[in-house]
Structure 1
Amino acid sequence: MDVLIVDDEPLARDRLIRMVEKIDHCRVVAQAGTTERALQAVREHDPDVVLLDVRMPGADGLSAAADLAELDDPPAIIFCTAYDEYALDAFDTEAVGYLLKPVKQEQLETALTRARKLNKVQLAVLSQRQTGREDESQRSHISAKTRRGVELIPLDDVRFFIADHKYVTVHHVGGETLIDDTLKDLENEFGSQFVRVHRNALVAVRHIEGMERASQGHYQIRLKDIEQRPVVSRRHVAKLRELMAQI
Structure 2
Amino acid sequence: MKIKTMIVEDEKPARAELKYLLKQEDDFELLFEAADGDKALEIIAENDLDLIILDIQLPGKTGMEIANHLQKQAEQPYIIFTTAFDEHAVEAFKLAAVDYLLKPFSELRLKKSLQKAKKRILNSTSYEKQMQNVINMIEAKDRKKQVKKIAVIDGDCFLMLNFQDIYFFSTKDKKVWAQCYKKSYLTQFQLKGLEEILPDNFYRIHKSYIINLQNIKAVIPWFKGKYQIRMENYSETEIPVSRSRVDDINKLLNLK
The one of 91, 94, 103 aligned to 1:92 = 94
d(CA) in 2 for partners of 1:164, 1:106 = 43
Deviation at 1:4, TM superposition (A): 0.9
- Runs of 4+ in structure 1 off by over 6 angstroms are 226-232
Partner residue of 1:168? 176
Partner of 2:7, secondary structure, is strand
TM-score by length of 2: 0.52
Aligned 8 A contact 2:37 2:63 in 1: yes
Partner residue of 1:81? 83
d(CA) in 2 for partners of 1:3, 1:14 = 15
Residue type at the aligned position of 1:16: L
Partner residue of 1:195? none
Partner residue of 1:201? 192
Distance 1:106-1:74 versus aligned 2 partners, 3 A rule:
same
Deviation at 1:80, TM superposition (A): 1.0
* Residues 197-225 of structure 1: CA deviation (Å, up to 9, x unaligned): xxx3259xxxxxxxxxxxxxxxx86xxxx
* Residues 35-74 of structure 1: CA deviation (Å, up to 9, x unaligned): 1011112234433211111112333110111112223322
The one of 7, 10, 19 aligned to 1:5 = 7
Partner residue of 1:22? 24
The correspondence of residues 1-247 of structure 1 with structure 2, limited to 5 A, is: 1-118=3-120, 145-146=153-154, 149-150=156-157, 164-166=170-172, 168=176, 179=186, 183=190, 200-202=191-193
TM-score by length of 1: 0.53
Deviation at 1:144, TM superposition (A): 6.6
Gaps of 5+ in 1: 130-142, 152-162, 171-177, 184-199, 204-219, 233-247
Deviation at 1:29, TM superposition (A): 1.5
* Residues 158-208 of structure 1: CA deviation (Å, up to 9, x unaligned): xxxxx63345379xxxxxxx646685xxxxxxxxxxxxxxxx3259xxxxx
* Residues 133-177 of structure 1: CA deviation (Å, up to 9, x unaligned): xxxxxxxxxx97436x345xxxxxxxxxxx63345379xxxxxxx
d(CA) in 1 for partners of 2:57, 2:22 = 21
Q: What is the percentage of aligned positions where both structures have the same residue?
A: 29
d(CA) in 1 for partners of 2:152, 2:119 = 35
Aligned 8 A contact 1:49 1:76 in 2: yes
Comparing 3-12 with 51-60, greater Cα deviation is found at: 51-60
Residue type at the aligned position of 2:29: R
Gaps of 5+ in 2: 133-150, 159-168, 179-184, 205-256
Deviation at 1:22, TM superposition (A): 0.7
Distance 1:72-1:22 versus aligned 2 partners, 3 A rule:
same
Residue type at the aligned position of 1:146: D
Deviation at 1:95, TM superposition (A): 1.4
Residue type at the aligned position of 1:104: S
The alignment of Structure 1 onto Structure 2 pairs a total of residues equal to: 167
d(CA) in 1 for partners of 2:61, 2:177 = 36
Aligned 8 A contact 1:39 1:68 in 2: no
Deviation at 1:16, TM superposition (A): 0.5
